[in-house]
Amino acid sequence: MWKCWVMSLAVAMTSIACSDDDDASADDDAGETAAAFEAPVADGCIDDVAPGAHDYMCGELEYHVTVPARCVEEPCGLVLDVHGWIMTGADELAETEVDRLGMEHGYIAVHPTATLGPGRLTAEPEHSWRAGEDDVALHAFLQDAIDVFHVDVDRVHVMGFSQGGAMTWRLLCAYSEMFASVSPGAAGAGYGLPMPGGICEDGDNPAVQVPVLFLHGTADALSPHSTALQQRDQVIDSWEMEQDEVLSEDDAHNWTRYTNADGNVFEFMEHDYASSLDFLLGHCFPGSTTGGILACKDEAAFTWGQAAMDFFIAHPRR
């Protein structure tokens, strides 16, 4: 009995010693991680790196950037959220609330505003993205923001609505290596037109496959639902995907996941919700609380901004 007790005591003491060593090792690792993160330093047009909301004028474009307090002390993710035609970055922010969600989950939120171009609805100039030109500018700003704020490069994402959805597809096609996952809404590639042969405008595919959450309304009056179905089918065919699971559905929406042998994910969210304007119909933000013309007037089973953020959190770079 005495011998057993002595052996037990020795084992216990050894365990305590190991535990102390483990704790010390964990503290050392935490200290090294903290020490490895360099505080952001203002550079170029990103002239203020304090926590909070900032408006940066870089080239011809204005960027509203929301920086959570933790993101000046540790690497954070980043979400670029691109508005549609006639909208501004502030309008997109109000509809998706990605700034608030980023504060909650540790993501810097970037909301750019397009330049003003000739009006198509009125005689007044209207905000509109310039395909090919603004794509390059947005990519350059993202790279600068990643460098300045020492962003976690495995958690960089882009989403956008309407023209911003088309921009999301184009950025995926041109710079797929930058993004962990993306969420285009209410638009196919290019300016809403599917491209024969592949996902991208030139009929090709992104160099790197990334998870995609694609939102589209069945009654969209500006970007036809048939176009969205073609875009969905091209993704599934190009990436050799099969239906995996219906994640959510009711009489007004269907949310389906497709996967392939490489483990990549494509999720298609189609809905029957509509704006109060016949000009837009299903060209609207599900779950919006703004009461604006782009808000879907019907009670929705999901909120796109929240769904996109959840998707990004679940899909960092593989």
Give the pLDDT confidence score for residue 196 in this predicted structure.
Answer: 64
Check if the beta carbon of residue 300 is closer than 8 Å to that of residue 287: yes
Q: What is the dihedral angle through the alpha carbons of 204, 208, 212, 216, rounded to the nearest 10 degrees?
A: -20
Nearest in space to 84 (alpha carbons), one of 252, 272, 304, 245: 304
What distance in Å separates the CA atoms of residue 183 and residue 165, rounded to the nearest whole number?
Answer: 8
Give the pLDDT confidence score for residue 5 in this predicted structure.
Answer: 37
Burial class, 244, CB count within 10 angstroms (exposed 0-12 / middle 13-18 / buried 19+): middle
Domain 51-314 has CATH 3.40.50.1820: yes
Q: Which residues face 306 on adjacent strands?
A: none
Tell me phi and psi for residue 5, to 5 degrees. -65, -40
Name the pTM for this structure: 0.87
What distance in Å separates the CA atoms of residue 107 and residue 128, rounded to the nearest whole number?
Answer: 26
Give the pLDDT confidence score for residue 299 in this predicted structure.
Answer: 92
Give the pLDDT confidence score for residue 309 in this predicted structure.
Answer: 98
Nearest in space to 116 (alpha carbons), one of 130, 103, 102, 105: 130
Give the pLDDT confidence score for residue 92 in this predicted structure.
Answer: 97
Token pair for residue 264? Answer: 């990549």
What distance in Å separates the CA atoms of residue 204 and residue 306, rounded to the nearest whole number?
Answer: 31
DSSP helix/strand/coil, 62 = strand
Burial class, 28, CB count within 10 angstroms (exposed 0-12 / middle 13-18 / buried 19+): exposed
Q: From first to last of its 318 residues, what are the pLDDT tens digits of the chain?
A: 444 433 443 434 444 444 444 454 444 444 444 558 999 999 999 999 999 999 999 999 999 999 999 999 999 999 999 999 999 999 999 999 999 999 999 999 999 999 998 877 777 889 999 988 999 999 999 999 999 999 999 999 999 999 999 999 999 999 999 999 999 999 976 544 555 667 887 778 999 999 999 999 999 999 999 989 988 999 999 999 999 999 999 999 999 999 999 999 999 999 999 999 999 999 999 999 999 999 999 899 999 999 999 999 999 998
Residue type, 192: G
Residue with tokens 């330093």: 41
Q: Which residues contact 197 (CB under 8 A, 6 or more apart)?
A: 203, 204
Give the pLDDT confidence score for residue 35 in this predicted structure.
Answer: 55
Q: Where are the domains of the chain?
A: 51-314
What distance in Å separates the CA atoms of residue 111 and residue 90, rounded to the nearest whole number?
Answer: 7
Give the pLDDT confidence score for residue 285 in this predicted structure.
Answer: 97
Distances 133 to 40, 64, 137, 233 between C-alpha atoms, Å: 28, 19, 7, 28
Nearest in space to 77 (alpha carbons), one of 173, 165, 158: 158
